[in-house]
């Protein structure tokens, strides 16, 4: 039986897809989120996307509470 192979290959940080969010903002948030994973295991595309989504959600939550 064939199983799905999951690639955990490290990639360069992709350009953020959310307007107003910079790579530096996403990078800082990703390093805070994945502190236990780094530096032994580089971040994958899924990690970068998750970090950006979490950052946007936290920025929106901060905006709503103000």
The arithmetic mean of pLDDT across residues 9-32, rounded, is: 90
pTM for this model (two decimals): 0.77
- DSSP states of 27-51: HHHHHHHTTTTTTTS---HHHHHHH
10 pLDDT tier (thresholds 50, 70, 90): low
- What's the pLDDT score for residue 46? 93
Q: Given a cut of 80, is residue 16 above it in pLDDT? A: yes
- What's the pLDDT score for residue 28? 95
Q: Report how far residue 46's alpha carbon sits from residue 53's, in angstroms, rounded to the nearest whole number.
A: 11
Q: Report how far residue 38's alpha carbon sits from residue 15's, in angstroms, rounded to the nearest whole number.
A: 20
Q: What number of CA atoms fall less than 13 Å from residue 20's CA on the CB side?
A: 5
Question: Which tens digits make up the pLDDT trace of 32-66?
Answer: 999 988 888 888 999 999 999 999 999 999 887 75
Q: How many CB atoms lie within 10 A of CB 46?
A: 12
């Amino acid at each position: 039986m064939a199983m799905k192979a999951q690639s955990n290959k490290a990639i360069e940080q992709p350009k953020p897809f959310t307007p107003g969010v910079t790579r530096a903002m996403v990078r800082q948030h990703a390093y805070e989120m994945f502190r236990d994973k780094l530096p032994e295991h580089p971040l994958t595309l899924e990690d970068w996307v998750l970090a950006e989504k979490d950052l946007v959600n936290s920025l929106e939550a901060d905006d709503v509470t103000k």
